[in-house]
Amino acid sequence: MANSKLIVIEGPQGAGKTTVTDYIRHSLKYTNLYRLCGTSDSSPSGLQKAKDMYVDLLDYVEKLENKSINLLFDRTFFTEEIYSRLKFKQYDFSPVYEELVEKFNSLDFDIYYITLYLEDTNLFTNRLARDGKAVPEYAKFTIESSVKQQEQYLKMADEISSKYSNIKVFKVSNDTDEQTLKSKIRSILEF
Q: Return the percentage of the chain with pLDDT > 90, whole number.
A: 76
pLDDT band at 136 (very low <50, low <70, confident <90, very high): very low
**Fold for the domain defined by 5-189:** Rossmann fold (3.40.50)
pLDDT band at 122 (very low <50, low <70, confident <90, very high): confident
Q: State pLDDT tens for residues 5-14.
A: 999 999 998 8
pLDDT band at 138 (very low <50, low <70, confident <90, very high): very low
Hey, where are the domains in the chain? 5-189
- Among the residue ranges 39-43, 60-64, 69-73, the one predicted with the least confidence is 39-43
Q: What is the mean pLDDT of residues 116-122?
A: 93
Q: pLDDT: is 111 or 128 the higher one? A: 111
Tell me the C-alpha distance between 101 and 171, whole Å.
18
Average pLDDT score, the chain: 91
Tell me the C-alpha distance between 176 and 38, whole Å.
29
Per-range mean pLDDT, top range of 36-40, 124-128, 146-150, 185-189? 185-189
For residue 105, give every residue at least 6 positions away whose Cβ sits within 8 Å of its Cβ, in sequence order, or none. 111, 164, 165, 166, 167
pTM for this predicted structure = 0.92
- Among the residue ranges 40-44, 149-153, 160-164, 184-188, the one predicted with the least confidence is 40-44
Q: pLDDT: is 45 or 140 the higher one? A: 45
Q: How far apart are the first and last CA of the chain?
A: 18
Tell me the C-alpha distance between 112 and 119, whole Å.
21
Question: What was the pLDDT predicted at 1?
Answer: 43
